[in-house]
Structure 1
Amino acid sequence: MPENSKRFEFTDAVVWITGASSGIGAALAREMGRRGARLVLSARRESQLQAVRGQCVDAGVEDAAILVLPLDVERHELMPAAVTQVLERFGRIDLLVNNAGLSQRSLCIDTDLAVYKKLIDVDLLGQIALTKAVLPTMVAQGSGTLAVTSSVAGKVGAPLRTGYCAVKHGVMGFFDALRVEIAHLGLNVTTIVPGSIRTAVAHNALAGDGTAFNRPDEAIEEGMDVDDCARVIADGFAGGVEEIAVGEGPEMQLLDMKRQDPTATFRLLETMAADLIQRKPPPMP
């Protein structure tokens, strides 16, 4: 395989981003559009996708180079038709960024089983189902990159996130295994491992009863700027990086620490958990 075969060229490439209505997905749309990509923007909320389309146009992307394609990743039966729409518009798919997802903020003992099922359906099965729908197109092309936004929580067990860690570890395992299965076909897999990025992820996270957490998360509030995050990720694709770690602050050190000294990592995170539990706010009335 040529040394530079995993580098991604954005100019005129068709890039499909899920979870594109806000946060990292919206920032990736703006950044990749500025780099010359043709964009497919998917999420459940069409009005917000249209707003992101406007931001991309303001950033210099031609309106004709953007397809707004509302999609609920839990509706697996709709995915083949969505793929057909993309192909009818652009004729190919060069990069799929599986970025849709939910987070969680609750102790295991306080978390309904339905919350775990929701996280699995959205953050794991949704990514697998759309990847499987797109994969035959890329095989026929003989080229393409399949990507997923995981998390530091996909590498390290973090408190208040048993469900989120489970699904993010799951997507890392699926896409790492997929990478080795499809490399001989000329296809690439990229996993994205963000730390704390300043988005609304904590406010939109699920509480133990399945309602929105709707509270600030100090680490997220002090995290990396989302547009800076998008530039790092886009640079990673351009450079052929297969696992893109992106973030600032001590949590990023956990990625190396977990490999080098798992026991010390467990003790550190236990201390963090005890502190969080002690400061846990009372239940909402």
Structure 2
Amino acid sequence: MSFKGQTAWITGASSGIGAALAKALAEQGARLVLSGRKIDALEAVAAECGSDCLILPFETTDIAALAPAVEQAWTWSGGIDLLVNNAGISQRSLAVETAYPVYQRIIDVDLLAPIALTQEILPKMAARKSGRLAYISSIAGKVGVPMRTAYCAAKFGLAGYADALRAETSVLGLKVHTIYPGSIRTDVSRNALTADGSARGASDSVIDNGIDPQVAAKWMLDAMLADQREIIVAEGGEAKMGELRRTPDALFDQVAAMMASGYAEKMKSEAKQ
């Protein structure tokens, strides 16, 4: 199985995990919609991919830009088969020292922006009754990690949204994947916000010694093609932490069965009484 002939849209595609996913999908023969803020970086990724690419730059928190972006992406490809909500920003600061605007910024980027984009594209996928929605959370979206209170709040929230969405769309033929990376060799730490909202500008040794992004990208795509709902991409202690908090498939099945048995219709009916 592969994504050959399918169209994948990746946010945060200019570097790191997003760029690695773009290259891995291109190798499988997918068409790509690449989004991010830096046009020159997106063009460089597109050149490396060497496949059909639409460069669609926008700021993910610019809510007004989302509807036209979705329309352009959908029209260009005749539909989106896989949306990867990857754009995000991390944190390296203690809660007691962190200014509240840092929380607002990280939650806007890491939680509200992917929700907003999903809400724009969801009706189109639902009408077609096919498509995959992937969310890049983090091991810090499973386990509360020091110096990442804002990041953990956003990534835990993203996982909760994805889990509920998965249950709702299970009756529509859509697939929802929540991906929990551990340390991947990217600039995530350098770009992380500090207590005053400035970029950290330095990496962590655990990140520098982390999983190669291309290895992580293949891991993620293979798991999606295997229809895994929770995808933990981590090694060592991080993998153990993720596995300790893994949601049993039986629980996902139980919640999906609620939808299949008419849960939503019952709730709507009760509201009218």
Q: TM-score, normalised by structure 1?
A: 0.85
| Letter of the structure 1 residue corresponding to residue 4 of structure 2 | T
Alignment match of 2:80 (pick from 93, 106, 119): 93
User: Which 5+ residue runs of structure 2 have no aligned equivalent?
Assistant: 248-273
Alignment match, 2:173: 186
Range moving further from structure 2, 248-257 or 112-121: 248-257
What fraction of aligned residue pairs are identical, expressed as a percent?
49
Distance 1:19 1:188 in 2: 21
Report the alpha carbon displacement of residue 256 of structure 1 after superposing the two structures with TM: 2.9
Distance 2:114 2:246 in 1: 26
Report the alpha carbon displacement of residue 259 of structure 1 after superposing the two structures with TM: 6.7
Q: TM-score, normalised by structure 2?
A: 0.88
CA distances 1:191-220 after superposition (whole Å, capped 9, x unpaired): 111000000000000001000011121111
Distance 2:220 2:191 in 1: 23
Alignment match of 2:4 (pick from 5, 11, 18): 11
| Letter of the structure 1 residue corresponding to residue 144 of structure 2 | G
Name the SS for the 1:74 alignment partner.
coil
Alignment match, 1:141: 128
CA distances 1:156-193 after superposition (whole Å, capped 9, x unpaired): 00010000000000000000000000110111100111
Alignment match, 1:273: none
Alignment match, 2:39: 46
Report the alpha carbon displacement of residue 89 of structure 1 after superposing the two structures with TM: 1.1
Distance 2:245 2:179 in 1: 18
Alignment match, 2:233: 246
Q: Are 1:216 and 2:209 matched, yes or no?
A: no
Alignment match of 1:37 (pick from 30, 33, 47): 30
CA distances 1:50-69 after superposition (whole Å, capped 9, x unpaired): 01001101xxx2xxx11000
CA distances 1:2-23 after superposition (whole Å, capped 9, x unpaired): xxxxxx7401111000000000
Distance 2:8 2:56 in 1: 12
- Superposed CA RMSD: 1.3
Alignment match, 1:70: 57
Name the SS for the 2:133 alignment partner.
strand
